[in-house]
Structure 1
Amino acid sequence: MPKSLNPFALIAERWQPSAKFVERAALATVVMAVIIVVTGGAVRLTDSGLGCSTWPTCTAQSLTPTKAMGLHGIIEFSNRMLTDVLCVFVGLAIVAARARTPWRRSLTRLGWAQFWLVMSNAVLGGIVVLTGLNPYTVGAHFLSATALLTVAVLMWQRAREGDGPARDLVARPVRQLAWLLVSAAGLLIVIGTVVTGAGPHAGDAHTVHRIPVDWREITQLHVDFVYVVIGLTVAMWFVLRAVDGPTTARRRVVELFAVLMSQGVVGYVQYATHLPEIVVGIHMLGSCLVWIAVLRVALALRERSYEVAGTAAVPAQDSAVPAAV
Structure 2
Amino acid sequence: MERVPNLTRADAVEAVRNPLAFIAARWTPTPRTVQRAALSALVMAVVIVVTGGAVRLTGSGLGCPTWPKCTDDSLTATSAMGFHGAIEFGNRMLTYVLCAAVGWAIIAARSEKPYRRSLTRLGWAQFWIVMSNAILGGIVVLVGLNPYTVAAHFVATTALITVAAVMWQRTREGDTAPRPLVGKPVQQLVWFMVAAAALLILVGTVVTGAGPHAGDSSEVERMPLDWETVSKVHAVLAWIVVSLTFALWFILKAVDAPAGPLHRTRDLFLVLLSQGVIGYVQYFTDLPEFLVGLHMLGSALVWIGVLRVLLALRERSDGESPGVPAQSYAATGSSVTGPS
TM-score bracket for this pair, using the shorter chain length: over 0.9
Residue 55 of structure 1 deviates from its aligned partner by 0.2
Q: Which residue of 2 aligns with 1:251?
A: 263
SS of the equivalent of 1:211 reads: coil
Alignment equivalent of 2:237, drawn from 214, 225, 249: 225
Number of the residue aligned with 2:293? 281
Identity among equivalent positions (%) equals 64
| Cα shift at 1:65 | 1.0
Query: Residue deviations 1:32-53, cap 9 Å, x none?
Result: 0000000000000000000001
- Decide which of 2, 14, 37 is 2:49's aligned counterpart: 37
My pick for the range that moved more, 237-246 or 133-142, is 237-246
Report matched runs for 1:141-290 at 5 Å: 141-290=153-302
Amino acid at match of 1:102: P
- Aligned equivalent of 2:91: 79
Aligned letter for 2:87? I
- Alignment match, 2:22: 10
Q: How far apart are residue 106 of structure 1 and its match?
A: 0.9
Q: Which one-letter code corresponds to 1:72 in the other structure? A: H
CA distance in 2, matches of 1:298, 1:239: 15
Q: 2 CA distance for matches of 1:23 and 1:213?
A: 43
Q: Report the residue type matching 1:164 in the other structure.
A: T
Superposition RMSD in Å = 1.3
Paired residues of 1:22 and 1:97 also in contact (CA < 8 A): yes
Q: Which of 43, 64, 69 does residue 57 from structure 1 map onto?
A: 69
Residue pair 1:246, 1:301 contacting (<8 A) in 2 also: no
1:205-253 CA deviation, whole Å, 9 max, x = no partner?
Answer: 1110000000110000000001100110011011112222111110011
Provide structure 2 residue ranges, at least 5 long, that are not aligned to the other structure: 1-10, 323-340
Alpha-carbon deviation of 1:274?
A: 0.4
State whether residues 43 and 49 of structure 1, in contact with CA within 8 Å, keep that contact through their aligned partners in structure 2. yes
Q: Which amino acid aligns with 2:146?
A: N
Shift of 1:313: 6.1
Please give the alpha-carbon distance, in whole angstroms, between the structure 1 residues aligned to 2:298 and 2:267.
13
Asked if residue 25 in structure 1 is aligned to residue 25 in structure 2, the reply is: no
Give the residue type in structure 2 aligned to 1:236: L
Separation in 2 of the partners of 1:168 and 1:109?
Answer: 24
Aligned match of 2:309 in 297, 304, 315?
297
Distance in 1 between the 2:213 and 2:18 partners?
A: 48
5+ residue gaps in structure 1? Answer: 315-325
8 Å contact from structure 1 (residues 256, 290) kept in 2: yes
The question of 1:47 aligning with 2:56 is answered no
Secondary structure, aligned partner of 2:218: coil
Inter-partner Cα distance in structure 2 for 1:23 and 1:131? 39
How big is the shift at 1:101?
A: 0.9
Could you tell me how far apart the structure 2 residues matched to 1:219 and 1:272 are?
12
Letter aligned with residue 250 of structure 2: F
Mapped partners of 1:77, 1:9: distance in 2: 34
CA distance in 1, matches of 2:157, 2:276: 22
Q: Which residue of the partner structure matches residue 105 of structure 1?
A: 117
Aligned residues: 309
| 1:128 lines up with 2:140 in the alignment | yes
> CA shift at 1:9, angstroms?
2.0
Show structure 1 runs of 4+ deviating over 2 A.
2-6
Q: Which has the larger radius of gyration?
A: 2
1:321 corresponds to which residue?
none
Query: 1:3-49 CA deviation, whole Å, 9 max, x = no partner?
Result: 94432222122211100000011011110000000000000000000
Please say if residues 162 and 306 of structure 1, whose CA atoms lie closer than 8 Å, have aligned partners that are also in contact.
Answer: yes
Using structure 1 for the length normalisation, give the TM-score. Answer: 0.93
